[in-house]
Amino acid sequence: MTNLLLLLALASPSADAVSAYVEKYFEVFPSRATEAGRHDRDRELENLSPDRLQDWIDVNRRTLESLRKNGAGAAPDDRLDAELLSSEIEWQLFQLETTKRPERDPLYWTNIAGNATVFLLVREDRPLAERLASARARVRELPRFCRQAEEALSKTPASEIAPDFARIAAGQAKASAQFYREGFAGLFSGEEKAAASKESAEAAAALTNLSSFCEDLSRKAAGSPRLGARYRDALRIQTGEPDPDAMLARAVADLEAKRKEAAGYGRSVWKEIFPGTGPPGSDRDVLAKLFARVSADRAKTVDEFVADYRKQVSDLDAFLHSHEVVTLPDPLTLYTDRSPGFFVGQAVGGVYAAGPYSPDAKTLWFLPTPPDSATPEERDGFFRDFNHHFNVMITPHEILPGHYLQLKVAAHQPRKVRALFPDGVYVEGWGTFCERLMLDQGWGGPLDRLAHLKKQMENIARAIVDVRVHTKDLPRAEVLRFVKEDALQDEQFASNMWTRAITTPTQITTYWLGYRQVTDLYEGVQKARGAGFRLKEFMDAMLAGGPVPVARYREKLLARGR
């Protein structure tokens, strides 16, 4: 869409402004169009020259002004769409103007490079030949994209770039380079393979150069990864929380309460888990022994780990079909496998939904796995953290009735903007609420509930760490100490929390914030409806509007005393 057409749309009602923005968004970020199921830009890769980024900033400013000016008279659903879009625009402007990520954060670039072809290669929503042709077109653009990254970052004084960001980005670019050097051409045959080999070799060389650039930058960089005074605005934009200190105080109190809850539950099931023995005297010792027992049941290999998760999905699907919990869209369209290293340059997991433009495409569930280079001790440590009971309790969060279901319903929502720019507090709150709900419905046993309680302690600690890292200058060593000693988490989760806090500020608060909001609403609706409360009605209603702020569901579900 041209800027002229965008300006015409901005003068129209908010629904037109939303649609115009989405089209411009996909023009700027074509890889995200592919992720959303739009295929008209599959052969394009982001062109983030300074002029184009400035144009994008101007578009965001104009759109936000239009939404604020014209939103009051819009229909309720249009106002809700405008609310979500306004938050996304504020975050775009925060990153582009306030923190200046394209100039100061190498991860801004390596995240895009890592995602360039993955959805084309894994999703089967178009013929393979078309997807491979589009992937080759993007691969041909990677050298240009890498040059743009280096040019943007080279203009910035090293004192304004955080060495942590450069170091992580170097690893991402290196992993992407390895994929294009060793794996990409194997997807082709004949003459096409020869051409793809040449193209992917050039992409690999460019990514290797970018990795070396970032590695060198990490040795010279002296900037801070902390937001400092800017954290308040980031938290408000991303979560709606106006006061970091007030949120911190609530989280500190919640962590203490959750430790007591976990220890109390542990004592209540102690004899079932450790027959013939009594629990230790202190809560900390009780939980240490119980959590060690939870982690004892674990995989020994990646294949065993992946098989365990696939079994959990199958069993949970059957469980929900035999219980009146939520309406399930059949069939289950889910691709479950280990996370490819090139996806983000490190073996982390996640659920990547079918987008609103291809809602019936497979959802991708990439499982975190230890890297191939891991030592036997590191590998066993990974499986100790991601143990069988963790897998049992987290599958409802990630898949059913959690993220898979929530995102699948959202993809079928006629309001596409809600799937494109979901409310993060709702999304993670829903997933975390589903962990607890399914345990209460009979999914899993005492060890799985203990795994959940440990996870909740981690989620609360995330909020505490996020505020303290960005506003109290909490150092990495103290983050690890706090997470291990106060939140009773293991080394890997403690180390990961530091990385999450500096690379995705405020996002890691959404698990705890969202859980509180969704649980409070669930309990409020139960109380309001009394004997007339029906779980399936509540669950379906909480999905129907898409991933919008929980407050909007509260307004609807508790209206007129319902």
Mean pLDDT of the chain: 94
295: enclosing H helix or E strand: helix 283-296
Percent of all residues in the chain with a pLDDT value above 90, rounded to a whole number: 87
pLDDT tens for 274-289 read 999 999 999 999 999 9
> What pLDDT is stored for residue 267 in this prediction?
98
Tokens encoding 119? 């959805």
Count of helix runs (H) and strand runs (E) in the chain: 27, 3
Instruction: Dump pLDDT digits (tens) for 52-68.
Output: 999 999 999 999 999 99
First to last CA, the chain: 44
Q: Is pLDDT of 352 > 60?
A: yes
> What is the residue type of 390?
F
CB proximity list for 368: less than 8 A, separation 6 or greater: 339, 347, 348, 349, 382, 386
Beta carbons within 10 angstroms of residue 102's beta carbon: 19
Q: What is the mean pLDDT of residues 250-259?
A: 98
Q: What is the per-residue pLDDT for 349? A: 74
Check residue 342 and give its pLDDT. 52
Query: Quick one: pLDDT at residue 561?
Result: 47
- Token pair for 131: 């997807």
Q: Is the pLDDT of residue 339 over 70?
A: yes
The SS3 assignment for 289 reads helix
Strand partners, 365: 336, 351
Q: What is the pLDDT of residue 345?
A: 39
* Amino acid (1-letter code) at residue 546: G
Q: What angle do CA 309, 313, 318 make, to 5 degrees?
A: 145
What DSSP assignment string belongs to 67-122?
A: HHHHSTTS-HHHHHHHHHHHHHHHHHHIIIIIS-HHHH-THHHHHHHHHTTHHHHH
The residues near 318 (Cβ < 8 Å, ≥ 6 apart) are: none
Residue 65 vs residues 83, 89, 329: alpha-carbon distances, Å: 13, 10, 39
Q: In this predicted structure, what is the pLDDT of residue 347?
A: 43
Two structure tokens written together for 209 = 């150069």
Segment among 93-102, 103-112, 140-149, 552-561 with least mean pLDDT: 552-561
Where does the pLDDT of residue 4 fall: very low under 50, low under 70, confident under 90, or very high at 90 and above? Answer: low
* CA angle, 270 then 274 then 280, to 5°: 60
Q: What pLDDT digit, counting tens, does each position of 468-525 carry?
A: 999 999 999 999 999 999 999 999 899 999 999 999 999 999 999 999 999 999 999 9
| Tokens 């073996």, residue located | 347
Q: Rounded to an integer, what distance in angstroms lies between the CA atom of residue 416 and that of residue 18? A: 10
Indicate if the pLDDT at residue 348 is higher than 90: no
What is residue 3's predicted lDDT score, i.e. its pLDDT?
A: 64
pLDDT at 1: 45
Residue 459: exposure state from Cβ atoms within 10 A (0-12, 13-18, ≥19) = buried
pLDDT of 10 = 52
Residue 338: its pLDDT value, please?
87
The two tokens of residue 484 are 């291990």
Work out the number of other CB atoms within 10 angstroms of the CB of residue 32: 18
For range 252-266, the mean pLDDT: 98
- Among all chains, which residue has been given the structure tokens 């739009």? 38
Q: What is the mean pLDDT of residues 195-213?
A: 98
The Cα 109–Cα 30 span in angstroms is: 14
Task: Decide: helix, strand or coil at residue 338.
Answer: strand
Per-residue pLDDT at 11 exceeds 50: no
pLDDT at 353: 87
How many percent of the chain have pLDDT more than 70? Answer: 95
Separation between Cα atoms, residue 44 and residue 26, nearest integer Å: 10
Residue 9 pLDDT greater than 70, yes or no: no
Tokens at residue 152, please? Answer: 């943007």
With a CB cutoff of 8 Å and minimum separation 6, the contacts of 264 are none
pLDDT at 370: 87
Mean pLDDT of all residues in 533-539 = 98
Average pLDDT on 231-245 reads 98
How confident is residue 160, by pLDDT bands cut at 50, 70 and 90? very high
Q: What is the mean pLDDT of residues 434-441?
A: 98
pTM for the structure as a whole: 0.94
Window from 64-73, 95-104, 412-421, 537-546 with minimum mean pLDDT: 64-73
pLDDT given at position 5:
52
Mean pLDDT of 291-301: 97
| Confidence category of residue 6, pLDDT binned at 50, 70, 90 | low
Cα angle: 331, vertex 124, 426; to 5 degrees:
60
The three-state secondary structure class of 384 is helix
According to DSSP, the β-strands at 350-352 and 334-338 are: unpaired
Please say if the pLDDT value at position 458 is more than 80. yes
Residue 562 has pLDDT above 50, yes or no: no
Please state the domain extents for the chain. 244-550
Dihedrals phi, psi of 356, to nearest 5 degrees = -70, -10
